[in-house]
Chain A
């Protein structure tokens, strides 16, 4: 910050023409810190402190009720490593991430390409595809609980209407995770869609013009111009999507009505249950850090792959 300050145009300097090597720099620094302070305080209180305190708690037997709090070394970590339920919840989270990320990227891309083909009423399509993203997770969960309802739900009505068997969407352990993924796609695909729309609009028209002069058809243009130009956006979308999917909690917690099932318990649900309904803050903190390590690992692998692609 301060190094760039000296290179700024004199508009920020107090007295133009005067060299004043030190003073304006310091004032500039103060102003900078002033602007940074509101964010900095929030960041410290709600990010840095919880991160540090959580790490400390993970080495204690702190209870939600206020009792405990003694240092127990690595006991929480050892217990977590030996707990099959924790590994299963992490496995479920990775499975959800895989199941949700692929369609969330592909469907968003296809929708963006279709809308940008110059459909009539383009604004309406954009609005319709993006609107679900604006809903609160509670609203989305309620909508889909009703849609998935085995007796009264619209989805089963449609299925039986066309002669297919009705399904217990959220109740059948082999279907419940897929059902949650479907609801999640409907809810969040709009954000990726928006990123793709912006990227498509950023591709210069001259490229298409030149290509059509060279005799390239629509498909040729799609594969030789549009998709390659969208590659950097795809990298961003995939990174954001994987991180968002790994954090899955709301819709599982709400759509399963807090009931933990072996096929839908995500890592965050496990952490929440350990800490808030099981009262074991210390243990829950330890699991958080184990999960953090898993997320870090996934991210590193991902950066590795995208970096190789980029080069």
Chain B
């Protein structure tokens, strides 16, 4: 296992002050699945892939075309009562506009208003009844897409096995770059060896070897949709034949994790706070700016508290 066997962003997220603290097994980004039959009927296919949108409005038109083709929804996106789903799509679109988010402990949260509001305006249009379902949760979105009543699905790569098991004609791609800056959102599973007061050198070496073996054999794990972090696996010719995984593996080079702070991460208060303050924007058409302001105030309060970690 060497430094150059990992992508930059995946590797760096496991380091602190230059020291390695964790080894990532994979990255599992938030991506776009689509139903190839509906995409063909909507005239969106170029060869055996769906074409890339040229602008945010063009993507909205593609979704509208998908809705006509599927007879149900153009795009399925379940977000209700689900901070993770909301945060992942919004943050992707925010970063694509060059938005920066910083959470300095003891300081004030930085959220750029313009891209923040624009991302919400765009998602509001995606879930508009003319394209999708305005108040779906993740189960509803999955049920809709799996039953063939929808053209596209925004979710994580981990949904792939259940979509494939349903026998759908699907393919997948990174979330299209609509605003100019290549960016995607992802998390990683990682191995961490907790601090030992009394280190057994032999046991530790065996643990390292065990982790290395798992990473080297992570091709099977890729079958579940996740993008292996160990580059020799994804650079292997066999991986190129693994579809649709190979169609979105490049996303690993542009992934972003949650902004670092003790309260962020998957299943954290941070994503729950995001939902609490910003769900009304999507669900009830509330003003995005007011939601962002409330979210920022909640973050400032957390940043002002003593760091319990």
Contact = CB atoms under 8 A, between A and B. Distances in A.
A168 B81 contact: no
Contacts of A152: 140, 143
Given A63-B308, A149-B137, A279-B262, A262 B269 contact: no
Nearest to B262: A279
A229 to B, nearest CB: 46
B269 A273 contact: yes
Contacts of B81: 170-171, 256-257, 259
Nearest to A149: B140
Nearest to A79: B305
B263 interface: yes
A273 B263 CA distance: 11
A259 B81 CA distance: 6
Contact of A63 (B83, B139, B309): B309
Interface string A158-200: 0000000000101100000000000000000000000000000
Given A259-B276, A277-B268, A278-B263, A65 B283 contact: no
Contacts of A2: none
A169 to B, nearest CB: 11
Interface residues of B, number: 27
Interface string A139-158: 00000011001111000000
A138 to B, nearest CB: 15
A145 B80 CA distance: 12
A67 B135 CA distance: 41
B272 interface: yes
A258 B267 contact: yes
Query: Which applies to chain A's interface (DSSP): helix, strand, loop or mixed?
Result: loop
A65 B144 CA distance: 41
A256 B269 CA distance: 14
B279 interface: yes
Interface residues of A, number: 27
B308 A67 contact: yes
Interface string B251-262: 000000000001
Nearest to A281: B308
Nearest to B263: A278
A171 B263 CA distance: 25
B108 interface: no
Contacts of A63: 308-309
Interface string B124-147: 000000000101110110011000
A260 interface: yes
Interface in B137-161: 137, 139-140, 143-144
A262 B276 contact: yes
Interface string A263-277: 000000000010001
Interface of B: 80-83, 133, 135-137, 139-140, 143-144, 262-263, 267-269, 272-273, 275-276, 279, 283, 305-306, 308-309
Interface of A: 61, 63-65, 67-68, 145-146, 149-152, 168, 170-171, 256-262, 273, 277-280
10 contacts: A67-B309, A68-B308, A149-B139, A150-B140, A151-B144, A152-B143, A171-B80, A258-B272, A277-B267, A279-B309
